[in-house]
Chains A and B, each alone.
Chain A
Amino acid sequence: MIKLTINDEEVEVAEGTSLLNSLEKLGLKVPTLCYHKALSPYGACRLCVVEVHVPNRAPTLQASCSYPALNGITVFTETDRVKRARRITAELLLARCSTSTEIQRIAAEHGVFAPRIKMKMDDCVYCGLCVRMCEERMGRSAIGFTGRGPRKRLEPPFSKHNPMCWTCGACNFICPVGKEVRWLVSSTIPKEIPNAYNMGLNNRPAIAIYYQQAIPNKPSIDQDVCVRLKYNGCGICEAVCEAKAIDYTQHDKTVELKVGAVILAPGYETFDPTMKPDFGYGRFPNVVTAIEFERILSPSGPYAGHVLRPSDFRKPQRIAFLQCVGSRDYERDYCSSVCCMYATKEAIIAKEHAGADLQCDIFFMDIRAFSKGFELYFESAKKQGIRYIRCRVPVIREVPESKNLVIRYLNEGDETVESEYDLVVLSVGMQPPKSVQKVAETFGVHLNRFGFCETSAFNPVETDRAGIFVAGPFTEPKDIPETVAQASGAAAKVLSLLSDVRGSLITPTEYPPERDVRGEEPRVGVFVCHCGTNIAGVVNVPSVVEYARTLPHVVYAENNLYTCSNDSLERIKEKIKEHGLNRVVVASCTPRTHEGLFRSSVQAAGLNPYYFEMANIRDQCSWVHMHEPEKATAKSRDLVRMAVAKVKLNDPLYPQQLEVCRDALVIGGGLAGMTAALALADQGFGVHLVEKEATLGGYLKGTRYLLTGENPQEALRNLTTAVMSHRNIRVHTNAELTEVKGSLGNFQSKVTVAGNGDGVEIRHGIVVVATGAQTYTPAEHLYGQDDRVLLHRELEEQLASGQFKAKCVAFIQCVGSRNAERPYCSRTCCAESIKLALKIREKHPETQVYVLYREMRTYGFREAFYTKARQLGVAFVRYADDKPPSIIGQNGTLLVTVRDETLGETIQIPVDRVILAAATVPNEVNKELAQLLKVPLGEDKFFLEAHRKLRPIDFATDGIFLCGNAHSPLDVEEVISQALGAAARAATILSREKIDLEPTISHVVTENCDGCAYCVDPCPFKAITLVEYEAGGEIKKRVEINEAICKGCGTCMATCPKKAVFVWHFKPEQLQAEVKAALGLPA
Chain B
Amino acid sequence: MTTEKDTFEPLIINFCCYWCSYTGADLAGTSRIQYPPNTRIIRVQCTGMIHPNLIIEALTSGADGVLVCGCHPGDCHYLEGNLRAKARAEAIELMLQDFGIEPERFRLEWVSASEAQRFAQVVKEMVEQVKKVGPSPYRVTV
Contacts and interface: CB of A to CB of B under 8 A. Distances in A.
Given A642-B40, A1080-B142, A1049 B32 contact: no
A348 to B, nearest CB: 14
B135 interface: no
Interface of A: 212, 298-300, 304-305, 590-592, 616, 618-621, 623-628, 631-632, 634-635, 638-639, 642, 956, 1000, 1018, 1020-1021, 1047-1051, 1053-1056, 1063, 1066, 1068, 1071-1072, 1074-1076, 1078-1081
Given A212-B27, A592-B22, A619-B29, A625 B34 contact: yes
A639 B84 contact: no
A591 B42 contact: no
Contact of A1049 (B23, B37, B48): B48
A1063 B51 CA distance: 12
A1051 B78 contact: yes
A956 B77 CA distance: 10
A642 B46 CA distance: 19
A212 B31 CA distance: 9
B13 interface: yes
A1048 B45 contact: yes
Contact of B35 (A592, A624, A1021, A1066): A624
A407 to B, nearest CB: 33
Nearest to B27: A212
A624 B34 contact: yes
17 contacts: A212-B31, A212-B114, A299-B118, A300-B27, A590-B26, A618-B29, A619-B30, A623-B32, A626-B32, A634-B37, A638-B40, A1020-B79, A1051-B48, A1053-B49, A1054-B52, A1066-B44, A1076-B61
Contacts of A591: 43
B26 A619 contact: yes
Contacts of B79: 956, 1020-1021
B49 A1078 contact: no
Main secondary structure of the interface of B (DSSP, over half): mixed
Interface in B1-51: 11, 13, 18, 22-23, 25-37, 40-46, 48-51
A1071 B44 contact: yes
Nearest to B136: A1079
B62 to A, nearest CB: 5
Contact of B42 (A635, A1063, A1074): A1074
A299 B37 contact: no
Nearest to B81: A1049
Contact of B78 (A299, A618, A1047): A1047
B84 A1054 contact: yes
A921 to B, nearest CB: 25
Nearest to A305: B117
A300 B30 CA distance: 11
Contacts of B27: 212, 300
B116 interface: yes
A632 B58 CA distance: 22
B109 interface: no
Contact of A1081 (B62, B78, B81, B120): B62
- Residue from B31, B41, B43, B116 with most neighbouring chain A CB atoms (10 Å): B43
B63 interface: yes
B45 A624 contact: no
Contact of B51 (A632, A1049, A1054): A1054
Interface string B51-81: 1111001100111000000000000011111
Contacts of B31: 212, 300
- Residue from A624, A1000, A1020, A1063 with most neighbouring chain B CB atoms (10 Å): A624
Interface of B: 11, 13, 18, 22-23, 25-37, 40-46, 48-54, 57-58, 61-63, 77-81, 84-85, 88, 114-118, 120, 140, 142
- Residue from A212, A639, A1075 with most neighbouring chain B CB atoms (10 Å): A1075
Nearest to B74: A948
Given A1018-B84, A1054-B51, A635 B26 contact: no
Nearest to B36: A625
Given A625-B37, A1081-B140, A299 B49 contact: no
- Residue from A305, A956, A1051, A1080 with most neighbouring chain B CB atoms (10 Å): A1051
A1049 B26 contact: no
Contacts of B45: 1000, 1048-1050, 1063, 1066
A384 B38 CA distance: 38
Given A212-B30, A620-B41, A1072-B57, A1079 B63 contact: yes
Nearest to A1081: B61
A866 B77 CA distance: 41
Given A299-B116, A1072-B57, 17 more contacts: A212-B27, A304-B117, A592-B26, A616-B41, A619-B30, A623-B32, A625-B37, A626-B34, A635-B37, A642-B40, A1047-B78, A1049-B48, A1050-B50, A1063-B49, A1071-B54, A1079-B61, A1081-B61
Contacts of A1051: 46, 48-49, 78, 81, 84
A300 B23 CA distance: 14
A624 B28 contact: yes
Contact of B25 (A620, A627, A1021, A1072): A620
B61 A1054 contact: no
Contacts of A621: 37
Nearest to B9: A631
B25 A619 contact: yes
- Residue from B22, B30, B35, B88 with most neighbouring chain A CB atoms (10 Å): B30
B128 to A, nearest CB: 16
B65 to A, nearest CB: 12
Given A624-B32, A1020-B78, A1079 B58 contact: yes
A675 to B, nearest CB: 29
A1020 B88 CA distance: 16
Given A590-B26, A592-B26, A1081-B140, A624 B33 contact: yes
B61 to A, nearest CB: 6
Given A620-B26, A1066-B45, A1081-B140, A1053 B51 contact: yes
A1056 B50 CA distance: 11
Nearest to B43: A591
Contacts of B26: 590, 592, 616, 619-620
Contacts of B48: 1049-1051, 1054
Contacts of B85: 1054
Contacts of A620: 25-26, 28-29, 41
A-B pairs with lowest CB-CB distance, top 9:
A1050-B49, A619-B29, A1049-B78, A623-B29, A1020-B79, A1078-B40, A631-B37, A619-B26, A1051-B48
